[in-house]
Amino acid sequence: MKTMMKKTMLPLQLIVIVCLSYGQADDSTNKHSISDSSFGPFFTLFSGLSAEVGNLRREVEDLRKSRNSVGVAFSAALRPPTQDNQGYGNTGPFQADTNLVHTHVITNVGNAFSPRTGAFTAPVNGVYYFTFTSYAWKKEDNIGVALYKNNEEVALVYEYQDKGDNEDFASNGATLQLAKGDTVSLVLPSGFQVTSNAFRNLSTFSGFLLFHVEGGQ
């Protein structure tokens, strides 16, 4: 900021010099005949200084906006509708695609994520990053989760449990340009399920704002 103040003071000092030069020129008109063309360099200098001052003002405004920008970040975990004695339980499978609602909020800076609906709503135009992880703990559990922007699928992860092992994780993510009001959510496709735990964060959904943009997409 000190550097910017010095940059601003220099053009102001030069403007004062130009004004004093005009005053001296006005006083001399009573003694000497000065052509208007002699002021050409001063007009050029003044125009250049005005442009520089305008640029400095824009830089200051950009810094102010950056300092006051809204922080947006969230992370939430899925909890099972029913659980065994170790806290594990499945969500699904269902006959139709179903929204996954991650009710356990870990982080919610900016309060853009709703644990009631499971959806993230963009508070500002910008580019965001989202990631999600799903867990299965039985060899007969086929896991699958899709990431949706508004009503459009943008990413999918799934795994059929055909290897005879008991536990698997599946993850995916996407970078999305959003307009203010756009929503991002997770959907459980029909026929798939996902395992979660009442005490541990296994199946999660996270996202954060990378940077602002002038318009959404």
Q: What is residue 214's DSSP assignment?
A: S
Q: Give me the count of residues in the chain.
A: 217
Q: Which residues contact 152 (CB under 8 A, 6 or more apart)?
A: none
Furthest CA-CA distance within the chain: 105
> What is the per-residue pLDDT for 168?
81
Contact 106, 77 (CB under 8 A): yes
> What is the per-residue pLDDT for 58?
73
Calculate mean pLDDT across residues 28-50.
61
> What is the per-residue pLDDT for 5?
45
> What is the per-residue pLDDT for 18?
47
> What is the per-residue pLDDT for 68?
53
Nearest to 210 by CA among 146, 125, 106: 125
* Amino acid at site 216: G
Which stretches of 53-189 are assigned E, i.e. beta strand?
73-77, 88-91, 98-100, 104-109, 120-121, 126-136, 143-149, 152-159, 168-178, 183-188
The CA R_g of the chain, rounded to the nearest whole Å, is 31
Distance between CA 98 and CA 107 in Å, rounded?
Answer: 24
Distance between CA 74 and CA 213 in Å, rounded?
Answer: 20
pLDDT > 90 fraction of the chain, expressed in percent and rounded? 56
Nearest to 177 by CA among 157, 137, 150, 146: 150
pLDDT digits (tens, 9 = 90+) for 145-190: 999 999 999 999 988 766 666 678 899 999 999 999 999 999 999 9
> What is the per-residue pLDDT for 2?
47
- Cα 1 → chain centroid: 26
Task: Look up residue 28 and give its two tokens.
Answer: 């001399």
Distance between CA 42 and CA 20 in Å, rounded?
Answer: 11
pTM listed for this prediction: 0.69
Q: Is residue 62 predicted with pLDDT exceeding 80?
A: no
pLDDT digits (tens, 9 = 90+) for 105-157: 999 999 999 999 999 999 999 999 999 999 987 656 788 999 999 999 999 99
> What is the per-residue pLDDT for 159?
81
Distance between CA 138 and CA 168 in Å, rounded?
Answer: 9
Q: How confident is the model at residue 55 (pLDDT cuts 50, 70, 90)?
A: confident
